């Protein structure tokens, strides 16, 4: 098994690059953002609760997100590996993921951190907001999301760096060029399926 975390600030291209990585390496995609948005659109109790946080640019509480991940991993026995997109976003989530994977006799092998300057993040997210209708892609909420990233998510990079698993990748090239850089790192561990 090969398990990858795609890490980076909001708008760094985690969702975009995950699609390419899944196609090329046949990993199973787990995006907490996508799962939460589905819960919101279906107006489930979890979605109604999560929306309060998401609309304010805040992270959804750890216990909610960790529970979602555990059941997704269990739903996919025999996967070649997983790509975790937008998870973990706090140190508590990272520790919970390590425990969960250890229980399943596996681990995180690589964490790719997409590095993109802040003005480019804002430009991309505002651009997406024009067409996506995402309520968290407004200027006011984007500022809060980036602040929340620095306060709670950026320290997760230190957690994985201490384990020797973190690789920084420049994410401000176009989508194709960025994918090439990510592939170069992945192929130190795994060849295309
Ligand atoms: P996410 O859905 O994870 O979204 P994201 O961080 O905004 O975006 P991403 O980095 O995936 O950017 P994308 O590829 O789409 O999170 C949304 C919210 O859900 C969070 O704020 C939080 O409230 C909640 N949440 C999710 N996970 C959570 C967790 N684990 N714990 C707690 N709360 C959680 O790219 C953005 C735009 O840039 C797109 O328009 C794309 O086309 C463009 N783009 C991408 N790469 C580009 C490139 N190289 N060049 C030019 N444009 C590019």
Position in ligand 1 atom list of the atom nearest CA 54: 23
> What is residue 87's three-state secondary structure?
coil
What confidence score (pLDDT) does residue 98 get? 97
Cβ–Cβ < 8 Å for 153, 58: no
| Of residues 153, 132, 124, 126, the one with CA closest to residue 59 | 153
In this structure, the residues whose C-beta lies within 6 A of any atom of ligand 1 are 8, 10-16, 32-33, 36, 53-54, 59-60, 65, 86-87, 89, 93, 124-125, 127-128, 136, 145, 174-175, 178
d(CA 163, CA 159): 7
Predicted model pTM:
0.95
- pLDDT tens for the chain, 193 residues long, are 999 999 999 999 999 999 999 999 999 999 999 999 999 999 999 999 999 999 999 999 999 999 899 889 888 888 899 999 999 999 999 999 999 999 999 999 999 999 999 999 999 999 999 998 888 999 999 999 999 999 999 999 999 999 999 999 999 999 999 999 999 999 999 999 8
Q: What are phi and psi of 167, to 5 degrees?
A: -130, 125
CA dihedral over 13, 66, 146, 185, signed as positive or negative: negative
DSSP-assigned states of every residue in 38-84:
HHHHTT-HHHHHHHHHHTTTPPPPHHHHHHHHHHHHHT-TT-S-EEE
Alpha carbons 93 and 63: distance in angstroms, whole number: 8
Buried-state track 98-108, b at ≥16 Cβ within 10 A, e below 16:
beebeeeeeeb
Residue whose structure tokens are 């985690």: 14
Other C-beta atoms lying within 10 Å of the C-beta of residue 185:
15
Q: Which residues are catalytic, by number? A: 14, 89, 128, 134, 145
Q: What are phi and psi of 57, to 5 degrees?
A: 75, 15
Average pLDDT, the chain: 96
């Amino acid at each position: 098994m090969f398990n990858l975390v795609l890490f980076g600030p909001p708008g760094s291209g985690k969702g975009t690059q995950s699609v390419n990585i899944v196609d090329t390496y046949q990993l199973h995609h787990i995006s907490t953002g996508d799962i939460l948005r589905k819960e919101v659109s279906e107006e489930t109790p979890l979605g109604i609760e999560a929306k309060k946080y998401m609309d304010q640019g805040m992270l959804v509480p750890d216990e909610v997100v960790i529970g979602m991940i555990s059941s997704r991993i269990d739903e996919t026995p025999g996967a070649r590996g997983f790509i975790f997109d937008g998870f973990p976003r706090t140190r508590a989530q990272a520790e919970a993921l390590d425990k969960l994977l250890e229980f399943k006799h596996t681990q995180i092998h690589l964490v790719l951190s997409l590095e993109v300057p802040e003005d480019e993040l804002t430009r991309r997210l505002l651009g997406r907001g024009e067409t996506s209708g995402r309520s968290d892609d407004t200027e006011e909420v984007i500022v809060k999301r980036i602040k929340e990233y620095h306060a709670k998510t950026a320290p997760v990079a230190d957690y994985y760096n201490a384990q020797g698993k973190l690789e920084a990748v420049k994410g401000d090239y176009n989508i194709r060029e960025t994918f090439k850089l990510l592939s170069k790192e992945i192929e130190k561990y795994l060849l295309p399926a």
